[in-house]
Amino acid sequence: MEDVKPSKSDLNVLILDYLTAEGYPTAAERFSKEANLNPAQQQDSVLLRNRIQHDIHLGSIQNAIEAINELNPQILDSDTSLHFALLRLQLIELIRESSLTPGGNIGPALTFATTQLAPKAPSDPAFLEDLERTMALLIFPPDQLEPQLAELLHPDLRKKVADRVNEAILASQGQRRNAAIRNLVKLRSWAENASKDAKITLPEHLDLALDGDVPVADKARKSRSVMWIPRMIVAPRHSDPDVIRIAVSVPVKVQQQVPKPANPGSKRSPVKYCSRFDSYVLSSLLVKDLRTMLRLPRTAPFVSANNAALLRTRAPQQLPSARGRAIQYASQVSRGPHALRRRPQVVGALRNPNWRLLSHTPIRSEPAKQVLKTRSRTLNFVYRTAAWLGISVTVASAGIIGFFLYDASTYREDLSQRDIQISDLALNPKRGGPKNLPIAEVLMDDEDDADMERQQNKPRLVVLGGGWGSVAMIKELRVEDYHVTLISPTNYFLFTPMLPSATVGTLELRSLAEPIRRIVSNIKGHFIKARAEGVEFSEKLVEVSQVGADGTRSHFYIPYDKLVIGVGSTTNPYGVKGLDNCNFLKDLDDARKIKHKILDNLEAASLPTTSEEERKRLLSFVVCGGGPTGVEFAAELFDLLNEDLTQYFPRLIRNEVSVHLIQSRGHILNTYDEAVSTYAEDRFSRDQVQVLTNSRVKEVRPDKILFTQKDEQGETITKELPMGFCLWSTGVSQTDFSKGVAEKLGDNQTNKHALETDSHLRLIGAPLGDVYAIGDCATVQNNVADNLVSFLNNLAYEKGKDPKTMQIEFGEWIQVGRRIRRQFPQASEHLKRLDKLFEAYDKDQSGTLDFGEMRELLMQIDKTLTSLPATAQRAHQQGQYLAHKFNKMARAAPGLTMNEVRDGDLDDAVYKSFQYHHLGSLAYLGNSAVFDLGGGWHALGGLWAVYAWRSVYFAQSVSVRTRLLLAMDWAKRALFGRDMMTF
């Protein structure tokens, strides 16, 4: 092998092949011109592959997928494994983005997983395993990941996927999947292994026959081992990790130094010290880098005798100025004067663990200077421990001092009094409206600061209710766009998903509430603690009332330009008698009453005068409703009885406690996946929580519950159950305010359970663009078939035909389908394959759809659409949607022309329709939790799932204050148990 002398032309072909295959278009073009070779591929093709790889390395996976489909759609269609790998990488990028900030939004990641990856995963067990590993990134903090999970967030994964994509594109173009030089590296590795087995020594390098390029004047340098040797390496870089570079080594200055002996009588041999091995990595493939570094001509060649001579003559003069600008890989190649280095005298790849080698160079032995041992290991350990303790105490002391300094700055004594300017209309509002009530056109704090003064002339946005939807909207609104007023009978926002935990003392009530005024103040808004009574749509007035200091209720009007109704819902009684004997769980007062009732029953049952029958009745806890609220309350109650009751109450009490859950359907958690429901029932069965399915409550009496239950033969049997406590959590119904609004709008509102809105969340029947409804009080209308005529109007107008008699061709059906998707985003899932739908409903095979066929098609879609769930998740998304739309309307509306606003529909001209993205459902089951992510994906587990459940709700808390309080409450429960006091 030592006799092999590869020619320069062969090397040039290998290099050009590498540049082309790896996607370096500019370098490939310039090198082909320098080496006088024909390009291996068109530059446009190489450019596109380069852009795709660059997008993947940057994490822009969607751009890469679109570019691949633009190049050749068959690449991803035929290679499902590659397509899944790209989608999985895109999910990882979304998770990475959400973890950049504490409490980051994981919603986009969950949405992408359920909509894009979940449908594809069941087709291959490997896909399922990869997706499960990826979803685990949402559970654990980034700094606490196991190695197999941490590697998913490492940039190497991007590189692996980019390499696979590059190989797939090359294969689709009939090219070799890998550069030939990579195969040579593999061949060299095989030869080394084979020679090692045969006990044959191979040369450490192959001479590339570049000695002839060294000028005669430099041969004296070569004899003194001071010469410039180009070495081919592949070095990683943040933007282009596979750029080939040339490393140019600088002459090594070796000095002879004899250090002073430690003892006068000792004899120590001289030690050689290498001052520094200066190596500057020059990007020889990017001529701009060469020109900048060494001021080479614009047409600087790649590897030639002239270029080598130019490097030899110019590099030494550029050394001082280039030292600071050189790429920092030199510091990785060499160390300082404390270590003795030998400069390799071979032409090959420089050894570095972070570089992928194109040829193999064994690691040279590098004896280092010994460290003098002045102390024993034990003494060193003591010193280090003392140092760390000192640092810890210092940091803690500094933190405590800083806290007290900050705390001292929060106490203010402002005794100065000054006149405050306030409008007379704020104190003495004028009267008007149908009931001649005071109209609060100006509020007391409208002139408190400059920001509020500027808002007086802005559109008036009035928000009714302080729930999830309203708060989500308030937090996303821009300060300068609207004069915002929030009206609510309570002055706090309640974190409702954690209410069951507050009923048993796991969490404090204050940990679930955040002052509304604090939230509203962030956008310089206004808050009025009052109750909404009605709306005058024609005059844009909201009637509100509040009990004054004298106990009388006063009424007044609040004017609006835009009104958002988010008043929530109330419990649905379903016509059951005796609900006044039940407890409900809707607000803080309900949670407080439930906690008092539970503890009072336990205390009464512990009295010696309580009979056995009465004790069993007091200790019989019944939950009516098998939804998330009822199930989580039953689980929290079981935790209280199982973990705290036995420590502080007689053991007899625990033995006689019984928990019953009555559900009208065949399973609890019936809206969840079947596996989740079955797991919950099995868990309750193990915990001795009695689940009564297919049961309906007829009457609730003070001491018992009457209910009917179907037996195995389908016959209905009436039963009774002794009861000391009953929680009613069986669905929602309209509030009195919502009922009044629906009655005022008449036939426009046909839903008896909620206010109906269109896909832009506008209240149907109210003036267009004035009134919106979000949250539990509203539902989005999904009557696609009823809007068929409006979908066909534009086409009919263009053709001059009647919409009901015209025939729709396939191209026109595509236009109609796009409009349906825009107006009813929830129907998009059913309109993915418009061609298949057209074929299926073209009954007469005429190539057209008539009005009847179109109506039948859309009615079938209507049947598959369901109402959006009445959950905090949906309300939160709706609130954010309205805020983003209002922000855009405030900026875009002044510049819109009449032609851009069709039929006066400003919302449709400015923003898309609302589309709900289900991010999954959670439920706590007593030291375990379940996650239903949709699409058949779910997670069931013990304590790890409990911590994941807590982390999700911890991240969704509205403020840092509530997060700290939640963490403190969970810590208190672990250290001291649940709070079991009533006051």
Say how far apart CA 180 and CA 15 lie, in whole Å.
9
Same fold, 424-495+505-571 and 579-733+920-976: yes
Say how far apart CA 285 and CA 234 lie, in whole Å.
11
Tokens of 721: 């159950």
- Run of H or E including 766: none
Q: How is the chain split among helix, strand and coil, in percent rounded to 5? A: 50, 15, 35
pLDDT band at 813 (very low <50, low <70, confident <90, very high): confident
Strands 937-941 and 929-934: antiparallel
Q: Are 562 and 886 in contact (CB under 8 A)?
A: yes
pLDDT band at 145 (very low <50, low <70, confident <90, very high): confident
pLDDT in tens, 45-94: 777 888 888 888 888 888 888 888 878 888 888 888 888 888 888 888 88
Say how far apart CA 23 and CA 286 lie, in whole Å.
13
Distance, CA of 340 to chain centre: 50
Torsional class of 36: left (φ above 0), alpha (ψ -120 to 50), beta (otherwise): left
Query: CA separation (Å) from 790 to 242, 501, 861?
Result: 56, 49, 17
Distance, CA of 855 to chain centre: 39
pLDDT in tens, 118-142: 787 777 888 877 877 787 777 677 7
Strand partners, 244: 234
Q: Are 982 and 600 in contact (CB under 8 A)?
A: yes
Say how far apart CA 850 and CA 854 lie, in whole Å.
6
pLDDT in tens, 860-877: 777 777 778 888 999 999
Q: Using CA of residue 41, residue 44, residue 45, residue 50, what is the dihedral sign? A: positive
Query: CA separation (Å) from 953 to 371, 922, 932, 959?
Result: 53, 10, 15, 12
pLDDT in tens, 16-31: 777 777 777 777 777 7
- Whether 902 has a pLDDT exceeding 70, the answer reads no
Top CATH class, 424-495+505-571: alpha beta
Say how far apart CA 335 and CA 633 lie, in whole Å.
64
Q: Are 920 and 799 in contact (CB under 8 A)?
A: no
Query: CA separation (Å) from 554 to 406, 545, 859?
Result: 43, 5, 49
Averaged pLDDT, 949-965: 92
| Amino acid present at 76 | L
pLDDT at residue 308 in the model? 40
Write the CB contacts of 942 (distance below 8 Å, at least 6 apart in sequence): 927, 928
Tokens of 539: 């005059």
Tokens of 811: 């191209």
Averaged pLDDT, 390-398: 94
Other CB atoms within a 10 A radius of the CB of residue 883 amount to 21
Of all residues in the chain, what percent carry a pLDDT higher than 90? 35
Find, among 652, 647, 639, 646, the residue nearest to 606 by Cα. 652
Averaged pLDDT, 790-796: 68
Say how far apart CA 234 and CA 247 lie, in whole Å.
10
CATH 3.50.50.100 correct for 579-733+920-976:
yes
pLDDT in tens, 524-551: 999 999 999 999 999 999 999 998 888 8
SS3 803: coil
Say how far apart CA 468 and CA 878 lie, in whole Å.
9
Say how far apart CA 720 and CA 706 lie, in whole Å.
4
| Amino acid present at 916 | Y
Query: Hunting for tokens 């003070």 — which residue is that?
Result: 702
Say how far apart CA 63 and CA 473 lie, in whole Å.
31
pLDDT in tens, 643-666: 998 889 998 998 899 999 999 988
pLDDT at residue 361 in the model? 35
pLDDT at residue 904 in the model? 66
Tokens of 954: 């911890």
Distance, CA of 220 to chain centre: 64
Query: Hunting for tokens 């663990």 — which residue is that?
Result: 353
- Better-scored residue on pLDDT, 288 or 922: 922
Q: Using CA of residue 179, residue 183, residue 188, residue 189, what is the dihedral sign? A: positive
Other CB atoms within a 10 A radius of the CB of residue 775 amount to 27
Averaged pLDDT, 402-425: 81
Averaged pLDDT, 879-895: 87
Widest Cα–Cα separation across the chain: 116
- Run of H or E including 350: none
pLDDT in tens, 441-493: 999 888 888 888 888 889 999 999 999 999 999 999 998 899 999 999 999 99
Q: Domain segments of the chain: what residues? A: 42-174, 211-333, 424-495+505-571, 579-733+920-976, 770-910
The DSSP symbol for 436 reads T
Minimum mean pLDDT range among 567-571, 733-737, 820-824, 899-903: 899-903
Angle in degrees, CA 741, 746, 750, rounded to 5: 90
Strand partners, 524: none
- Better-scored residue on pLDDT, 592 or 267: 592
Of all residues in the chain, what percent carry a pLDDT higher than 70? 75
